Amino acid sequence: MIKLTNIQKYYGSYHALRDVSCHIREGEFFSLLGPSGSGKTTLLRTIAGFEGIDSGDLMIGGQPMKGVPANKRPTNMVFQSYAIFPHMSVAQNVAYGLRAQRLSKAETASMVSEALAKVGLAGYGARAAHALSGGQRQRVALARALILKPKVLLLDEPMSALDRKLREEMQSELRHLQRNLGITFVLVTHDQEEALTMSDRVAVMFEGQIAQLDTPQALYKQPASKRVAEFFGAMNILRADIVDVKDGVATTRIEGLGTADLPMPRQADAGTAPPYCAGVRPELMTILDDGAQSYERETAATVTDVEYRGELTYYDVKFQGSDTPVVVSMRNTSNRTLKTVGQQVRIGWESASAVLLVDRS
Ligand SMILES: Nc1ncnc2c1ncn2[C@@H]1O[C@H](COP(=O)(O)OP(=O)(O)OP(=O)(O)O)[C@@H](O)[C@H]1O
Ligand SMILES: [Mg+2]
């Protein structure tokens, strides 16, 4: 649906988009995720046609977009600060999306009520926009963008102004809306959880570049770089030396854990860029009780800190021959006793718990 090829964009001397290439599929819920200033809004505005590009190609629906103004593109955008007009009614706000078209009153009214129904605001047309809750305003902004039946809806942090509970509600509503309408959504967010729960695929951006483009599961389980791994929750980072690579699998010597066969990082460009390190998520290691659990690998360690947090306990442990503290999280079950500082323990893990990462900061 949207094909970006080697997009470069400068603001004066500032390089805002650095060789961005990606392909957004039709009907996909696609997210652009990254920290503040990473270029998410810039990329979205480029797709929308509000920003020009310095080089590269942009195609939407098979058509080159060079020279095509925003209002002639099959896209519509919901802005970061979703400006709805407080002095207008809900219906007038939604109809604003139609202002460029010369439609009869009756046509406009029917399109407005159709759009309001889509976002769960049927019957709210006459209400003054200032008399709406934050979530309802957000829906008005959505209805205004949907009324032109765009093939692609571009959403720039549409939920950032909402409180947590409302945001979660809107997330699942938005997801349902996207499934029902079947149109392509491109969502900008800096909230990892939001991107993981809502999207079919996510492009992670740092400093104007796409660091990794993958499904939520792949991003969490097989991040390509240390930076992406750490962006998605806690990750223990250990030194790693590659001994041998065969068919995309690297025999890796991991600090404290010994040797394991790990897939090379997923993305080709990341894979060509050593140095590497190994990552293990805290929940993918287990402190073995003197029971019958059997793990592919067992490694001796010493407990150096214990943090009880109700549902979970976080242990800091050190493997023999390693100074790096490693966090292991354990679910607190009724028959599991807490370990104590200084205790010698065995850590159960599997090679599939570890991931080889490009260590490029
Ligand atoms: N019109 C502009 N002129 C100059 N620099 C700009 C302009 N717009 C954005 N920038 C710069 O480009 C970089 C990317 O900005 P952008 O708005 O795309 O970031 P973002 O990822 O959307 O961040 P946020 O999460 O804070 O919204 C920033 O460093 C920003 O200062
Ligand atoms: Mg932004």
Domains and CATH numbers, the chain: 2-218 (3.40.50.300), 224-275 (no CATH), 282-352 (2.40.50.100)
Binding site membership of 9 for ligand 1 (Cβ less than 6 Å) = no
Q: pTM for the full model?
A: 0.89
115 CA → ligand 2 middle, Å: 26
pLDDT at 272: 55
If you take atom 22 of ligand 1, which residue's CA is the nearest one? 41
Closest ligand by atom to 36 CA: 1
**190 Cα nearest atom in ligand 1:** 25
Pocket test for ligand 1, best of 41, 78, 194 (most atoms within 8 A of CB): 41
Which residues lie closer than 8 Å to 294 by C-beta, 6 or more apart? 348
The string of pLDDT tens digits covering residues 57-102 is: 999 999 999 999 999 999 999 876 667 888 999 999 999 888 878 8
Binding site membership of 41 for ligand 1 (Cβ less than 6 Å) = yes
The string of pLDDT tens digits covering residues 181-221 is: 999 999 999 999 999 999 999 999 999 999 999 999 999 99
Phi and psi (nearest 5°) for 173? Answer: -65, -40
The answer to whether residues 16 and 42 touch, using CB atoms and an 8 Å cutoff, is yes
55-75 burial by CB neighbour count: b if 16+ within 10 A, else e?
Answer: ebebebeeeebeeeeeeebbb
pLDDT at 334: 87
Strands (E), the chain: 2-11, 14-24, 29-33, 55-60, 63-64, 75-78, 152-156, 184-189, 201-206, 209-214, 236-246, 249-254, 258-263, 276-280, 286-288, 297-308, 312-319, 326-331, 344-349, 354-358
pLDDT at 160: 81
Binding site membership of 34 for ligand 1 (Cβ less than 6 Å) = yes
The residue ranges of the chain whose pLDDT is under 70 are 80-82, 267-273, 291-292, 361
